[in-house]
């Protein structure tokens, strides 16, 4: 009886660890840098440079959404009430308007690999 209880507990823990959002693919920051060239039409990922139309994405992971001082955000982002994580950024890049209705960004990346690469680039750029 005791062994069965331990087995059930172990199985529950293992299944619980796998629950939730699927793990994101590890990105290639070099490829992400190339893809980010399209994003540079609106954004920057450097500490000393603002984006043209969009906010600066330098150290975006860990930042509260809609708070970069230099950008005039949509009400949707100003009132989003969350902090950017890798998972949130991945969902955002897959379709900003789907993820947060009222968002003003129209660009999106269909490819999960491309999103992972861009996110890896943004993380690497934030360490400089």
Question: Quick check: pTM over 0.85?
Answer: no
Helix axes 29-39, 112-126, angle to 10 degrees: 90
Q: Is 95 among the domain residues? A: yes
Q: Is 19 among the domain residues? A: no
List all residues 6 or more positions away from 103 whose beta carbon is below 8 Å from its beta carbon.
74, 76, 77, 92, 96, 97
Residue 4 CA to residue 49 CA, distance in Å, equals: 60
Residue 3 CA to residue 116 CA, distance in Å, equals: 42
Q: Is 6 among the domain residues? A: no
Q: Is 121 among the domain residues? A: yes
Q: 76 to each of 9, 41, 84, how far by Cα in Å?
A: 42, 22, 14
Q: Which domain holds residue 110?
A: 26-126
Note down pLDDT in tens along the chain; length 128 residues: 455 444 444 434 433 433 334 456 689 999 999 999 999 999 999 988 877 789 999 999 999 999 988 889 999 999 999 999 999 999 999 999 999 999 999 999 999 999 999 999 999 999 87
Q: Is 66 among the domain residues? A: yes
Q: Are the CB atoms for 25 and 113 separated by under 8 Å?
A: yes
Q: Is 10 among the domain residues? A: no
Q: What's 81's domain CATH number?
A: 1.10.760.10
SS3 83: strand
- The candidate with the shortest Cα–Cα distance to 105, out of 34, 49, 57, is 57
Q: Is 47 among the domain residues? A: yes
Q: Is 97 among the domain residues? A: yes
Domain count for the chain: 1
């Amino acid at each position: 009886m005791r062994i069965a209880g331990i087995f059930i507990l172990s199985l529950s823990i293992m299944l619980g660890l796998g629950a939730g959002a699927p793990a994101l693919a590890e990105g290639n920051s070099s490829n992400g840098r190339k893809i980010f060239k399209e994003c540079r039409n609106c954004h920057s990922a450097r500490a000393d440079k603002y984006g043209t139309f969009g906010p600066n994405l330098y150290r975006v992971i860990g930042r509260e959404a809609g708070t970069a001082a230099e950008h005039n955000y949509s009400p949707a982002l100003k009132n989003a009430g969350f902090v950017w994580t890798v998972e949130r950024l991945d969902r955002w890049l897959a379709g900003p308007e789907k993820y947060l209705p009222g968002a003003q960004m129209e660009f999106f990346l269909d490819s999960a690999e491309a999103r992972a690469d861009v996110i890896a680039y943004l993380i690497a750029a934030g360490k400089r």
